[in-house]
Amino acid sequence: MKRPDLRVLIIDDHTLFREGLQGLLEHRGIQVVASIGDGVEGIQAAERLQPDVVLLDMRMPDLDGLMVLRRLRQKRLKMPTVILTTSSNEKDLVEALRAGAQGYLLKDMEPDELVVALFDIVAGKTVVAPTLTPVLAKVVQGETVEPPKTKPIETLTPRETEILGLLAEGLSNKLIARHLGISDGTVKLHVKAILRKLEVHSRVEAAVMAVEHGFRSGHGMSGGGE
């Protein structure tokens, strides 16, 4: 069965991502009526173009995604609005849904999954990233959303987990880069992300946390891992 035409407005301040997303959607037969990098201009475009759905970034300068979303609702613009973001923060999800978002999706999702989600949202469903569906259930039921019990170390990607294991063995960035066949700069970025996610300030603290969680041999946690 042929899908109905879908007209999408993109509001995102990152030009490279915005243009890439437009190309991905148009390649899949979705019409992008405008691709805009500014919140105020995006609101004006939504009023003028009346798209079927708005794809909205959460983090933008001047007017962020939540402010744009609230202004769209204040103007009584009823088209579904979807937050498309890198933030998996439950607080952001809850605020977005309470502000009137019909979707909360993550930018690392597969393009075809995004397309399916958009059609579901336009059909009246509320769709969130699969990792955040338990939080959605609580919001729908009107429960107070408590901070997740997930341990910070469980938020690491497989590559970050691997690098943390090597950190726990005392390897330098240069040796880690050589071991994994990646650049020193890439390792440095991963280490920075690890420290941020673990909420620690030094490699030593991260290494101690790794040992406490049973990391060994630079290949993740004992007892299975990825």
Element (H, E) at 54: strand 53-56
Helix runs in 50-183, H state only:
65-74, 90-98, 111-122, 133-140, 158-168, 173-180
Neighbour count for residue 129 (Cβ, 10 Å): 22
pLDDT at 223: 35
Asked whether the beta carbons of 186 and 163 are under 8 A apart, the reply is: no
In the DSSP assignment, the letter for residue 131 is: G
Backbone φ, ψ for residue 81 (5° rounding): -120, 130
pLDDT at 218: 41
Q: Is the pTM of this model over 0.85?
A: no
The domains located in the chain, with CATH, are 7-140 (3.40.50.2300), 152-212 (1.10.10.10)
Give tens-digit pLDDT for 112-122: 999 999 999 99
User: Measuring CA to CA, which residue among 131, 198, 129, 132 is closest to residue 160?
Assistant: 198
pLDDT at 150: 61
pLDDT at 219: 42
Give tens-digit pLDDT for 166-203: 988 888 899 999 999 999 889 999 999 999 888 888 88
pLDDT at 154: 78
Encoded amino acid at 94, one letter: V
* Mean pLDDT by groups of 10 residues along the chain of 226 residues: 78 93 93 94 95 93 87 90 89 87 91 92 90 70 54 82 88 91 91 89 85 59 36
